[in-house]
Structure 1
Amino acid sequence: MADKFGQFFKDTLKEILVEHVKELKNQSEIDKFYEKYEKADFSGLYLEMINDTSNQMVSDAKMIMHENTLLFRGEETEIIARIEQKWSNAFATSETMYMMVLESVKDYSDYVNKIDNKEREKSIHKYTALKYIHGRGLQQFLEIITLMKNGFADGAYSRWRSLYELNIIASFISEYGEEVAEAYISSHNTEDRYEWARACGEFSPKKRYISFDDIRKKSNFPSELWQQPYRISNEVTHASSQGTFNRLGLMDGEEKISVGHTDYGLTIPGEHSAITIAQLTGLLLMVYPSGDSIIAAKMLNKWIDVVREQYFKTHDYIFPDEPKLWDNEIN
């Protein structure tokens, strides 16, 4: 595509040149003018015109801003409606899970508030820490659902990364108990991100600082099974070459640059977020286990299969040329 402004600048100078030459009286004056013209530096004028033109474009954009925005929103609404139409059953399973978790935790909170004070005090710090971690995680789960419904698979998986990390922190606190939980809570007004983890007694005093990976290795969490998904989530989150060229929202082999909504790649954040929120909720519900909390945890774990089925089947229906994700004979 041609440089429109560059051509406009050249044409403007040419017009000025022609008009000025017409005013000259003889060839000698014309020759002198051309000699000066060839040596002249027009960079200042060029920059001034760029500034004036950009100011005018901003002014014009302000005048039609609302009109253009309404058109954009109309087109966006149509795109999101098509995504919703295709993935409705899958999204419904995620939204139902959100409501299941929220209701279960509300009932569990009422139960904990009514148990014997002495019994509650035995694990009060762990309960408090996990309750706040879980609240943050549940909000992130809803963010993931919202991003998926808007066709942002990569953004959804980036948020899953945070949810996954919360799960590891919760597992660590759950395993090492009250002292670690208390240290975690107390550190929220400090600048130390992970120094609270020293309270577990598993780290050498010679160790200069504690990292998230140190906590991951010490937690009773099967992170080895999640190495590849976590690596991919890191790639789509950070400015890596892999995350830039290998987008979740693009089919393999597609040489496109995704800048907006897409209905591809939603199965991974859909499935993984369901697994992770179920695990995180289970950790909270088992601080003060009861028959009701055990049933709730089991229900959520079983609901993962419902989520997986709907996301996989939807993907297979929308993208029939892609490898099948759901096998009715196996599942």
Structure 2
Amino acid sequence: MKKILSIQETLDRCVAQATSREQLLPMALARAAKRRNISLPEHDIQRLAAALLNAEGEEIQLDVNPPCAFGDNEKEVQTTVQGLIDELGESITDVLGNVAEAISQAVPNALASVAEFIGDRISEQALEHSLHLRKAHSERAETVQRMWGKAIEQLDLLRHIVLEWNHAAALHRKGAYAKPNTAFALSKLVARAYEVVGEIITLARSGYADGALARWRSLHEICVITMFLAMRSDRCAQMYLSHHWVEELRLLDVDRASGTARAVNAHSDRYIHDLRKQKDALVAKFGTAFAKDYGWASVELGRAKITFRDLESNVGLETLRRGYQQANSTVHGGALATLTRVSVGPGSVDGAVIPPAYGCEVAANYTTASLSMMIAELCLETENADLLTMNMVINNSASKIRELIRKAQKKASGDTPRARILMLKAAQRESRRKSRRAI
């Protein structure tokens, strides 16, 4: 079978051919003749090059009959040939330099032409490939719908109920929503949670279990902050909302430090100046800790530094710590997420272009827990019957989702009543066969 050369192998072969002795020596001889002001026809240069390449030791067999281009007699021929040989050293160096320069210019052009040719071929085949991928994605989405469709639809309903609860809480102004800054912050956070859950559902429905879990990581952080603000003073919510000045200024400072800032003009300079002035005023008001990450929480708790894990522990959501660490793995570039996938379970390497439909229940389970626990916390300080009733509806919906996931998991693993009956009957038949063989 004929071997198909790679682009690099073909390029190496062409370069090797262009820099071979057979190619370089005639060019070097022509350069040497020019240096000595000798006019030699192309066929005589080729004849001398062949003689030099075939020489044995120091003996050169050059088949010429004087008078010729090398000289009018044998002595002149010998003198001319020797002079050309003496010039070969510098001539070969010049030729090699010219060839190297020509190759350095020709290779990028050649690769660009090859890339254009390959790109055209790929474009011709792209439609067929896209149709194949679209079919594979569609089949995976159908599998997700069969396995997790009911649970995901119930989760979609749950997020709408949570949003309605938020609107009702803002309207009644009870519990944590009785405080103006806290009410505004909580309303914004719950609305953002609603959007993130929508993203989780979209990814899960398409079978992107790892992507859904990565978005749940954001939801978990939103829920933790929401619960923390609900527990704390209205001043804490005010600091949380004001911290956006610090975060925006930090982004602009990073842009300037890395040289990626947008075009600077008088307006942007004034804006940055105003941001810095606002930040300085807030630091003067709340303290130096305010300028740090989670500075609003640091000031509220009277601590120099606060981490997200501190907030998580403060609101009692350590139960979701393992899920958060797993989600961190899907977000960052660690080896665990590189070598494994949530969609194929632990300890498995996923080499498929289209990952299977498993693992979507992981993000769905965590999302359900986050939403139900967040609303339960927000209900602690209210006695409003409307809000408490809606919280019960949310808890019932969350329980239904968990039950649907459990049933789907059992069905996927074959652990269903019908499967157990069939396995029992198969075992009984095998037992009877063994008994007959024993008789």
State the TM bucket, normalised to the shorter chain: 0.7 to 0.9
Identify which range, 156-165 or 223-232, moves more after superposition. Answer: 223-232
Q: Measure how far apart 1:156 and its partner are.
A: 0.9
Q: Which residue of 2 aligns with 1:318?
A: 412
| Change over 3 Å in CA distance of 1:32–1:73 after alignment to 2 | farther
Please give the per-residue CA displacement for 1:277-305, whole angstroms capped at 9, x wherever unaligned: 12223344556541010111122122222
Aligned to 1:267: 361
Select the residue among 291, 307, 314 that pairs with 1:211.
Answer: 307
The equivalent residue for 2:225 is 169
Answering whether residue 154 of structure 2 is matched by residue 93 of structure 1, we say yes
Matches within 5 A, 1:100-249: 100-112=161-173, 122-191=178-247, 192=291, 193-200=293-300, 202-204=301-303, 207=304, 209-217=305-313, 219=314, 221-249=315-343
1:142, CA displacement in angstroms? 1.2
Q: Relative to structure 2, which stretch is displaced further, 231-240 or 76-85?
A: 76-85
1:296-307 to 2 correspondence within 5 Å? 296-307=390-401
| Structure 2 residue identity aligned to 1:101 | V
2:8 to 6, 11, 32: 6
Question: Structure 1 CA distance, aligned partners of 2:240 and 2:344?
Answer: 40
CA deviation profile, 1:176-209 (whole Å, cap 9, x unmatched): 1211111112222332441112342x224xx2x4
Equivalent residues of 2:141, 2:206 under 8 A apart: yes
User: What letter corresponds to residue 211 of structure 1 in structure 2?
Assistant: T
Superposed displacement of residue 161, structure 1: 1.1
CA distance in 1, matches of 2:396, 2:48: 94
Report the AA paired with residue 295 of structure 2: E
Residue 216 of structure 2 aligns with an amino acid whose one-letter code is W
Question: 1:107-137: per-residue Cα shift (whole Å, max 9, x none)?
Answer: 444444xx8xxx9995121111111111111
**Number of residue-to-residue matches in the alignment:** 307
Larger Cα Rg: Structure 1 or Structure 2? 2
Which whole-Å CA distance do the structure 2 matches of 1:239 and 1:179 have between them? Answer: 38
Question: Does residue 277 of structure 1 match 2:371?
Answer: yes
Q: What is the SS of the residue equivalent to 2:351?
A: coil
Identity %: 20
Q: TM-score, normalised by structure 1?
A: 0.77
The one-letter code sitting in structure 2 at the alignment partner of 1:105 is N
Q: Where do 1:27-66 residues align within 5 Å?
A: 28-29=48-49, 41=100, 42=103, 44-61=105-122
Whole-angstrom CA distance in 2 between matches of 1:256 and 1:273: 24
Q: CA deviation at 1:85?
A: 2.8
Structure 2: gaps spanning 5 or more residues = 24-41, 55-87, 248-290, 416-439
Q: Which has the higher contact order (CA 8 A, sep 6+)?
A: 1
Q: Secondary structure at the match of 2:349?
A: coil
Unaligned runs of 5+ residues in structure 1 are 322-331
Distance 1:175 1:316, change over 3 A: same
Q: What's the TM-score once normalised by structure 2's chain length?
A: 0.60
